[in-house]
Copies of this chain bind each other. A is one copy, B any other.
């Protein structure tokens, strides 16, 4: 049995998610390399050690460069805040490691370009954490589109909404600072863009409107601080396949918890999906018999691979974390040189390009070509 040595930098939300994936991928899929959990890095040695014990890593460190230098580490998970992605990923690539980096690539487009360049130079495998494309539902939708089940796609709508910024009296924190990016546009927008890239190809032309629900928020000192990012973004788009599109993003949308809603309109039918009910999708076929035409609510099951690797019975449901296990498996396939469904740094750069074009369209009040 072959193994692969794993290093993990960061153990927050996504760090733990990677750790669960590294632990679960072999038992779930059975095939391929067995991950050896070699080295874990956190900001303090004490935290690193505690997490290493929890997640099952052999060594721990507060020096992420030591982890990258560790010859037993072959692939590095980068799950730190966005501002650190470029430096860490580039260092890992330069050390000849494969890199699994969380999205978005970086805060600025220049950094993202340097990451893509480093990936090209290294020749190792890179993967970004666009886990929503790994959902068996999304694979099934891709297959339906490829088969022409809904004909030629002519219009799409994407929404992504959560409510963690919805309370106007929540304390000002870094997500409201300009240094964090544009706001919903990059924080959220990259997810729908990854789905569009996977399902339809790219975006050619964009026109965005960014808006702020709240001009200021309370700060710790009791005063109010001016908000510098846009929690709401709405974008008109043209896609490479000629379809028109709308993308609406809102991270101050009370009641929405993990909504990534998609409507795809074609000449022969319509597909709809919402990540809050990630184990189902809706399909309308124009060729169903009159009198019984309607949207079918399809529940995922073994017939939608790789659901079958998790559960042999349909309708029992995968969870968000399990998408990461699938992503991890795809990464391992790529490392083995097999065809794999991942968003590498090169493809990720296209997503970043679209986001920055959207921001430019907002600044200039006009359509911008991507």
Residues of A within 8 A of B (CB): 1, 13, 16-17, 19-20, 23-24, 26-28, 30, 34, 53-56, 140, 143-144, 149-151, 154-155, 157, 159, 162, 164, 166-168, 207, 209, 211, 213-214, 232, 234, 236, 238, 243-246, 248, 250, 252-259, 263, 265-270, 275-280, 283-286, 288, 290-299, 301, 303-304, 310-322, 365-367
Say yes or no: B254 contacts A286, CB within 8 Å: yes
Q: Residues of B contacting A28 with CB < 8 Å?
A: 20
**What are 12 sample pairs from A and B whose C-beta atoms fall under 8 A apart?**
A20-B24, A140-B292, A209-B238, A213-B265, A213-B267, A234-B244, A255-B294, A257-B301, A258-B315, A276-B299, A276-B315, A310-B319
Say yes or no: B367 contacts A367, CB within 8 Å: no
How many copies of this protein are present in the complex? 4
Q: Residues of B contacting A275 with CB < 8 Å?
A: 316
Say yes or no: B236 contacts A253, CB within 8 Å: no
Name A278's closest neighbour in chain B (CB-CB). B317
Q: Residues of B contacting A296 with CB < 8 Å?
A: 288, 292-297
Complex CA distance for A236 and B285, rounded to whole angstroms: 30
Q: Residues of B contacting A243 with CB < 8 Å?
A: 211
In the A-B complex, the 6 residue pairs with the smallest Cβ-Cβ separation, listed nearest first, are: A257-B315, A319-B319, A255-B284, A258-B315, A154-B213, A294-B296
Q: Residues of B contacting A318 with CB < 8 Å?
A: 319-321
Q: Residues of B contacting A157 with CB < 8 Å?
A: 159, 248
Q: A23-B24, A27-B19, A54-B26 are in contact. Are A317 and B258 (CB under 8 A)?
A: yes
Name A322's closest neighbour in chain B (CB-CB). B319
Task: Report the minimal beta-carbon distance from A138 to chain B, rounded to whole angstroms.
Answer: 13
Complex CA distance for A290 and B310, rounded to whole angstroms: 19
Of B24, B159, B295, B314, which one neighbours A24 at CB under 8 angstroms?
Answer: B24
Task: Report the minimal beta-carbon distance from A365 to chain B, rounded to whole angstroms.
Answer: 6
Of B154, B254, B288, which one neighbours A252 at CB under 8 angstroms?
Answer: B154
Q: A154-B252, A290-B303, A297-B297 are in contact. Are A313 and B53 (CB under 8 A)?
A: no
Max count, chain B CB within 10 A of own CB: residue among A162, A166, A259, A288: A166
Besides the known contacts A23-B27, A234-B245, A295-B297, 4 further A-B residue pairs in the complex with CB atoms under 8 A apart: A257-B301, A258-B313, A310-B319, A317-B317
